[in-house]
Amino acid sequence: MINDKNAQKIVDIIQNFARKHSIWVLAYGTGCGAIEIPPTMTSRYDAERLGVRGAATPRQADVLLVTGYLTVKTLKRVVRVYEQMQDPKYIIGFGSCTINGGMYWDSYNTIKLLDKYMPVDVYINGCMPRPESVLGGFAELEKLIAAGKGDGATE
């Protein structure tokens, strides 16, 4: 709607600033990595300082946190959940299982490389990552959003 290049840039800056500091994570623990989410959100490693909040349904969420391994069954549901989210949306691959299969590298039932199925923006390494790593991952995501990159669907 806005034709002026500079006006578009200003709008983008404001929007990215807001998106950066208000990240709503879908409360969906897909694997055993989800156990590190409660400590991150609660008092000791407060993630709400960064504006990170839990969202109840995919319609309200920005970030899908794929925590850990995905079985084939769960993959089907996670893809559907991802499709139900609204743009702009991001995926954070949480734990080693999303990077190279992690602990279940030779299982018949899990998928090994998340990147082959869904466009991942940020990976957080570890099995399970400590809350400080999780906060670092969110900070990484914030940098991506501020730079205007990471709109995962385009990748």
> How many residues in total does the chain contain?
155
By CB under 8 A, the residues from 4 to 33 that bind other proteins are 14-15, 17-19, 21-22, 24, 27-28
Question: Minimum Å distance from CB 55 to other proteins?
Answer: 8
Per DSSP, the three-state class of 52 is strand
Question: Minimum Å distance from CB 91 to other proteins?
Answer: 14
Determine the Cα–Cα distance for residues 136 and 49; give it in Å rounded to an integer: 13
Name 132's Cβ contacts closer than 8 Å, sequence gap at least 6. 45
Nearest to 61 by CA among 35, 94, 23: 23
Determine the Cα–Cα distance for residues 47 and 50; give it in Å rounded to an integer: 6
By CB under 8 A, the residues from 47 to 86 that bind other proteins are 48-51, 53-62, 76-78, 80-81, 84, 86
Query: Quick one: which of 46, 115, 132, 155 contacts other proteins (CB under 8 A)?
Result: 46
Where do contacts with other proteins occur on this chain (CB under 8 A)?
Answer: 14-15, 17-19, 21-22, 24, 27-28, 42-44, 46, 48-51, 53-62, 76-78, 80-81, 84, 86-88
